[in-house]
Structure 1
Amino acid sequence: MTSVTNGGDRADARRNRAKMLSAAGEAFAQQGLDVPLGEIARRAGVGAGTVYRHFPTKQALLEAVFVQHLEELVASGEQRMARFAPAQAFFGFLLDVVQKSDLRGHICDVIAEDASWPRPMLRASVQRFRQVLTALLHAAQRAGGVRADIGPDDVVSITAGCVSMLAARRDRAAGHRLVQLVLDGLRTPAAVTEQLAFRDSAVGVCADCGARLPLQATGRPARYCGATCRQRARRRRLAG
């Protein structure tokens, strides 16, 4: 009975941690880094004491949220390597990085500005991210889809610039178009001339608001990010 109880306690702790990280990510994105831990606890549906037991300081919580962000990107990159052609996988990954990092902008800012980062856990996630990015880049270069004079550091800097550019634009569709133009500069001249598809076949942007649509393993690719955009587009069609 004790082992069953302990197993249940651990499962509850894992669920609470996942809820807190999700709530923290949303709160930091919406309200900035000054949001109190009590507000994060409220969003997660747990007590403030539970948050402090898992994350004694806000800095510890920030690190955990950013580690989760990087691990999600690593998983996305690995999935793309297994499913798509090299250039398609590389550019799809960069779009994923830009979109998801834009949503984590406040967290990215504090990591970049604080000289004490990265901590050991975050350093390991950064290393895994770099490994996946480098593998995707080199595969795309060997396939002739990306310029040979581009290195991983160049890609990181260009991607960070795209995140800042997207965050500065209120018109999301226009922002994504600018990101595409910048990333197209990484292609080989032959690939640009052939006008290869920028996005992979399973990923795109909402036809109404321009927001990124999630990667879908099966089924028909979505055209809209949700019911609101779908209904708005339908009203425009009917009005026309």
Structure 2
Amino acid sequence: MTQPRTGRPPRADAVRNRLKVLEAAEAVFDARGTTASTEEVARAAGVGIGTVFRHFPTKETLLEAVYVSRLRKLAEEAGALASADDPGVAFFAFFTRVVGHAATKNALSAALTEAGVDVRDAAAETGQGLKQALATLLSRAQEAGAVRGDVGLPEVMTLLVGASQAAERADVEVRDRALNVVFDGLRAHR
């Protein structure tokens, strides 16, 4: 959030309202898709439409904030899993989580691209943090002998993208079976 021109930090209620709007937008876009209106977001947040636009001047800025927030949360989850007792379980659980979020993430990305937003640029910093966290999960899983040593981050990212796109078109049961096939290919064979 930008600082007011006075140089003072934002008021506590403004920070709370921004967070409420962002959380409500995530829930609304998850449930209704990216075509849901900002009025629906305002209602879900329990604020007026003016409050939404005070923090997010356009729907595109709101969509972008939701997109970046989702990536940031995934990076934080990956970071938290980096110290898990079982690095293999942590790696595969995170992979599954990312694929499970694919439909909403891809819809947000498509809506932003359609609006002329460079998604890679908008999420560059957060995306880099996510890649670093995933690299740590991969490295730990390989050190523990749970993931093949000849697989690098580029291969894992490619598999994540492919599995995520496929998951959008499959029911949960098929998605889970397909993930098991992918995981069998990633597992270190002892």
Using the size of structure 2 for normalisation, the TM-score is 0.83
Name the CA distance, whole Å, in 2 between partners of 1:129 and 1:189.
Answer: 27
Name the CA distance, whole Å, in 2 between partners of 1:136 and 1:54.
Answer: 35
Name the CA distance, whole Å, in 2 between partners of 1:13 and 1:119.
Answer: 27
Equivalences, count:
182
Amino acid at match of 1:88: V
Match of 2:74 in 1: 73
What displacement does 1:92 show? 1.5
Amino acid at match of 1:176: D
Match of 1:213 in 2: none
Amino acid at match of 1:95: T
State how 1:75-224 maps to structure 2 within 5 Å.
75-110=76-111, 116-119=118-121, 122-170=123-171, 172-190=172-190
Q: Is the 8 A contact 2:103 2:164 kept in 1?
A: yes
Identity of aligned residues (%): 36
Match of 1:21 in 2: 22
Unaligned runs of 5+ in 2: 1-7
Higher relative contact order (CA 8 A, sep 6+): 2
Cα offsets for 1:62-98 (capped at 9, x unmatched): 1211111111111211221112222222111111211
Unaligned runs of 5+ in 1: 1-5, 191-240
Q: Is the 8 A contact 2:60 2:112 kept in 1?
A: no
Name the CA distance, whole Å, in 1 between partners of 2:144 and 2:113.
Answer: 33
> Could you tell which deviates more after superposition, 85-94 or 27-36?
27-36
Q: Which has the larger radius of gyration?
A: 1
Name the CA distance, whole Å, in 2 between partners of 1:59 and 1:118.
Answer: 15
Structure 1 residues 59 and 142, CA gap change in structure 2 (3 angstroms): same
Structure 1 residues 110 and 186, CA gap change in structure 2 (3 angstroms): farther
Cα offsets for 1:144-201 (capped at 9, x unmatched): 221222221221221122222222123x2332222222222111222xxxxxxxxxxx
Structure 1 residues 82 and 99, CA gap change in structure 2 (3 angstroms): same
Amino acid at match of 2:163: C
Q: Is the 8 A contact 1:71 1:129 kept in 2?
A: yes
Structure 1 residues 20 and 10, CA gap change in structure 2 (3 angstroms): same
Structure 1 residues 180 and 11, CA gap change in structure 2 (3 angstroms): farther
Q: Is the 8 A contact 2:87 2:144 kept in 1?
A: yes
Cα offsets for 1:187-238 (capped at 9, x unmatched): 1222xxxxxxxxxxxxxxxxxxxxxxxxxxxxxxxxxxxxxxxxxxxxxxxx
What displacement does 1:48 show? 0.8
Name the CA distance, whole Å, in 2 between partners of 1:82 and 1:180.
Answer: 24
Q: Is the 8 A contact 1:41 1:51 kept in 2?
A: yes
Structure 1 residues 185 and 71, CA gap change in structure 2 (3 angstroms): same
What displacement does 1:22 show? 1.8
Q: Is the 8 A contact 1:74 1:129 kept in 2?
A: yes
